[in-house]
């Protein structure tokens, strides 16, 4: 069982306002495992999660209350079975009962918006083992993406700049996903590679709905997501490792209540990490990330792409008692969010070009010294 309570004070959308936050979380879990034979095992269990979230705003000499209670009871079971030496399978079933409610108080009366639902989540997996160094896997699973608390909180809080407010939607429902994945893995002395293809069917898609001066969230029809993940790790030298990861995806949404929420989205990201052990001492790491232009329904994010570069150097001295770490984040000072979109309103189309710089180039220097033995 895990019980967590904490109080926090934060800043809301305007300088004159703040809030008090009280969180409580309790987790109960019980599992049972049993091996019926060398080739057949099963597991069953229960997990309960009981969360409360109380947020009291003080705005313009008045108090607003946002409270979210969520109790989740889950029963589940899985069976693992080796069909042959090379072909293995696993199947599972999970049942959830969710009792959730949003409580709002702006006038002295607490108003409840319930969101209770039951759902069954099946899963099935097959793996074919070619050798100890390579395998092919297929998986099917169902899952749920529940809204974050900020997506439910309807009281305005500043998202990026003072003229734009982020407003949650207490009527927001979770989105349910049917996920299919096919993957292949190969490991050799000098390299390792993983390749995955995936397809998702999504019901009640959660979308970020932005207006001229307000950002909120809505459920919008159904969607599909197709993509590919790739990982390649190469060791050209004993002191040098290179790791590349990449993802490209395309998604489509239909059945939305608004025209600008129906359509296609595509994008991708490529990351590279170079780890080099310096013979005279220390480790040097270079990390680069490139975001492809992201085509969204209303326009383009990062229309020219985005490349960022980080670097870190770490060395241990005096028999590993002193550890020195130097780190540079966003060396090129290029971590910028750019977006070109078109909003359609009753007064015509608005073309919005936004530019946000979250942080600047940052340097860190860390010293760690061990006085004794642990």
How far apart are alpha carbons 142 and 65 in whole angstroms? Answer: 34
Q: pLDDT per position in the chain (374 positions), as tens?
A: 333 333 333 333 333 346 788 889 999 999 999 998 888 999 999 999 999 999 887 766 667 888 999 999 999 999 999 999 999 999 999 999 999 999 998 777 888 889 999 999 999 999 999 999 999 999 999 999 999 888 888 887 654 444 556 788 899 999 999 999 999 999 998 899 999 999 999 999 988 776 656 778 888 889 999 999 999 999 998 899 999 999 999 999 987 767 667 889 999 999 999 999 998 889 999 999 999 999 988 889 999 999 999 999 999 888 888 999 999 999 999 999 898 887 766 677 778 888 888 788 999 999 998 887 65
Alpha-carbon dihedral 328, 332, 335, 337, rounded to 10 degrees: 170
Q: Identify the DSSP state of 146.
A: P
Closest CA to 309 of 361, 358, 246, 235: 361
In a domain, 201, yes or no: no
In a domain, 278, yes or no: yes
Give me the pLDDT at residue 14, please. Answer: 39
In a domain, 186, yes or no: no
In a domain, 296, yes or no: yes
Alpha-carbon dihedral 68, 69, 73, 79, rounded to 10 degrees: 20
In a domain, 333, yes or no: yes
How far apart are alpha carbons 124 and 140 in whole angstroms? Answer: 5
In a domain, 271, yes or no: yes
In a domain, 64, yes or no: no
Phi, psi of 70 (to 5 degrees): -140, 120
How far apart are alpha carbons 301 and 292 in whole angstroms? Answer: 9
How far apart are alpha carbons 200 and 142 in whole angstroms? Answer: 9
Number of other residues whose CB lies within 10 A of the CB of residue 33: 10
How far apart are alpha carbons 207 and 147 in whole angstroms? Answer: 11
Closest CA to 156 of 64, 81, 266: 64
Phi, psi of 298 (to 5 degrees): -100, 0
In a domain, 58, yes or no: no
Cα end-to-end span (Å), the chain: 29
Number of other residues whose CB lies within 10 A of the CB of residue 342: 12
Total count of domains within the chain:
1
Tokens of 219: 């459920």
CB-CB contact of 275 with 285 (8 Å): yes
How far apart are alpha carbons 369 and 259 in whole angstroms? Answer: 59
Domain around 321:
265-374
How far apart are alpha carbons 346 and 8 in whole angstroms? Answer: 42
Q: Identify the DSSP state of 39.
A: T
CB-CB contact of 169 with 218 (8 Å): yes
Tokens of 146: 């529940």
Give me the pLDDT at residue 359, please. Answer: 81
């Amino acid at each position: 069982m895990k019980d967590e309570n904490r109080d926090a004070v934060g800043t809301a959308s305007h300088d004159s306002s703040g809030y008090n936050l009280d969180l409580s979380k309790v987790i109960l879990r019980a599992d049972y495992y049993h091996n019926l034979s060398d080739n057949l095992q099963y597991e069953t269990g229960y997990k309960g999660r009981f969360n409360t979230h109380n947020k009291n705003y003080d705005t313009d000499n008045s108090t607003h209350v946002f409270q979210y209670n969520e109790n989740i009871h889950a029963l589940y079971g899985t069976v693992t079975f080796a069909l042959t030496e090379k072909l293995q399978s696993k199947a599972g079933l999970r049942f959830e009962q969710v009792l959730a409610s949003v409580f709002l108080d702006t006038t002295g009366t607490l108003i409840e918006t319930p969101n209770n639902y039951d759902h069954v989540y099946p899963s099935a997996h097959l793996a074919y083992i070619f050798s100890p160094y390579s395998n092919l896997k297929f998986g099917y699973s169902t899952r749920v993406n529940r809204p974050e608390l900020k997506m439910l909180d309807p009281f305005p809080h500043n998202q990026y700049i003072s003229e734009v407010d982020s407003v949650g939607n207490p009527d927001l429902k979770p989105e349910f996903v049917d996920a299919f994945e096919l993957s292949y893995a190969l490991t050799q002395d000098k390299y390792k590679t993983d390749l995955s293809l995936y397809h998702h069917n999504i019901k009640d898609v959660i979308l970020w709905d932005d207006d001229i001066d307000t950002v909120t969230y809505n459920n919008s029809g159904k969607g599909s997501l197709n993509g590919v993940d790739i990982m390649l790790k190469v060791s050209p030298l004993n002191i040098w490792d290179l790791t590349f990861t990449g993802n490209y995806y395309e998604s489509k949404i239909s059945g939305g209540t608004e025209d600008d929420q129906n359509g296609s989205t595509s994008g991708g990201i490529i990351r590279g990490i170079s780890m080099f052990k310096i013979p005279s001492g220390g480790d040097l790491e270079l990390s680069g990330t490139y975001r492809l232009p992201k085509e969204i329904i209303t326009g383009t994010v990062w229309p020219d792409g985005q490349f960022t570069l980080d670097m870190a150097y770490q060395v241990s001295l005096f028999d590993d008692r002193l550890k020195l770490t130097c780190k540079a984040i966003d060396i090129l000072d290029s971590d910028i969010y750019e977006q070109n979109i078109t909003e359609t309103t009753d007064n015509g189309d608005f073309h919005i070009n936004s530019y946000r710089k979250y942080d600047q180039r940052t340097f860190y220097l860390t010293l760690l010294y061990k006085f004794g033995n642990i």
